[in-house]
Copies of this chain bind each other. A is one copy, B any other.
C-alpha cells in the first residue's frame, strides 16, 4: 500500500494478486462441477476485471441494471444476463438497442414485464431471451411456486418477440436443497409444456462453495467472491487473506484515549451492516470497533485495543460490504501485494438506471 504514489485518503485499494486467485479458484470449482460461471459485475464494476473473469472461463457476465450492461457491452462483452425486471418505454428501447450488439438475456417474474418485453421485441430481428425469476426463499422478486414458473414460461414462449430461455433464482444463503427441489420441479413443468428449459441460473457468493455435485443449476452468478469482504469472513465464506479490497483511511483525530476518528464515513464505507456489529474491520487493529459513521467521519472505539493508532496514521479497513463501496468511488488503486500497478476509473459506478 505504501508503494502507491501520492495516495490520498479515503481510497480504495485492490490487490490484484488476490483478485487473480479468487477468480481462478471459483472458475476451477465451477469447471469441476460442470456448471457455467457468469460472474456478477455489480461488485467491481470494472471492465478490466470482467475481461479477466471471461479470460479465465466465464461464459459471460451478469448485470443488475441496463446501464451497467451498456457499459460492459460498449467495452466488448458479448454475453450479458440482466437479472432485473425491465419496465418502461425508455428502458425497453435501450434494451432493444443493446440486443443488437450482444447476446442479452433478461428475467421476468410477472405478466406485465413479459407483455412489455414482447411489445418491445415483437418486430426485432432476433427474439429476446427471457428467464423466469423464481423465489426460492429470499422473499425478493420471483414467482412463488414451480407451477407459477411453468405458467409464466408458457406465456413467454407464446409471446411474439420472446424466447423462453430457462429459470433464474437468487436464493438465500445455503438453501441448496430448496433451490434444487424448486428448480427441478419448475424445470419439469417447463419441459412438459414447452419441451425445453436450457438455463437454470443461481447465484450468491455466500453459498458458492457448497453448490452440490449433480446440481440442476447450469450456471452460477457470484459477485462478491472477486473481492470478498467482512460479511463473507463472518459467514465463513472466506478468510481475511482472501479479501482483495481495502479502504485506506487516515486517523484525523484522537479526541480521547479510547476514540479515534477516521476520514472515512458513510459516503465511503456505506452504512451496510449486513447483520454485523461495526462498520468494518481495521485490519491492523482487529480489536477496534468502527462503532458509528457520520457522512465523512468514522467513529472508532479503541477501548479493547492494547496498541492504538495515532493521528496522521493510515489504516486499512476491510469493509462490511465491498459491492457498495466501489460504487461510491470514481477510481480504485490496483496493486499487487503492495506494489502499485495502476489507478483505474470504476467504469460502471453509479449505473443505477
Residues of B within 8 A of A199 (CB): none
In the complex, A141 has a CB within 8 A of chain B: yes
Distance (whole angstroms) from the CB of A258 to the closest CB of chain B: 10
Contact A296/B327 with A141-B252, A253-B109 known, Cβ cut-off 8 Å: no
Interface string of A37-74 (1 = CB under 8 A from B): 00000100000000000000000000011000000000
Contact A263/B84 with A64-B296, A270-B271 known, Cβ cut-off 8 Å: yes
Select A255's contact among B141, B263, B268, beta carbons within 8 Å: B141
Q: How far is the CA of A329 from the CA of B349 in the complex (A)?
A: 10
Q: How many copies does the complex hold?
A: 2
Q: Is the interface of A mostly helix, strand, loop or mixed?
A: loop
Chain B residue nearest to A40 in the complex (CB): B295
Would you list which residues of chain A between 98 and 113 have a CB under 8 Å from chain B?
Answer: 109-110, 112-113
Residues of B within 8 A of A123 (CB): none
Distance (whole angstroms) from the CB of A312 to the closest CB of chain B: 5
Contact-size category for A: 35 or more
Residues of B within 8 A of A312 (CB): 87-88, 112, 116
Contact A255 B295 (CB under 8 A): no
Contact A85 B270 (CB under 8 A): no
Task: Please name 7 further chain A to chain B contacts, defined as beta carbons within 8 Å, in addition to the given A88-B250, A268-B352, A349-B350, sorted by A numbering.
Answer: A42-B295, A87-B250, A112-B311, A144-B255, A295-B323, A296-B352, A328-B350
Can you spell out 7 A-B residue pairs with CB atoms less than 8 angstroms apart? A85-B253, A87-B250, A87-B263, A141-B255, A141-B297, A266-B324, A349-B350
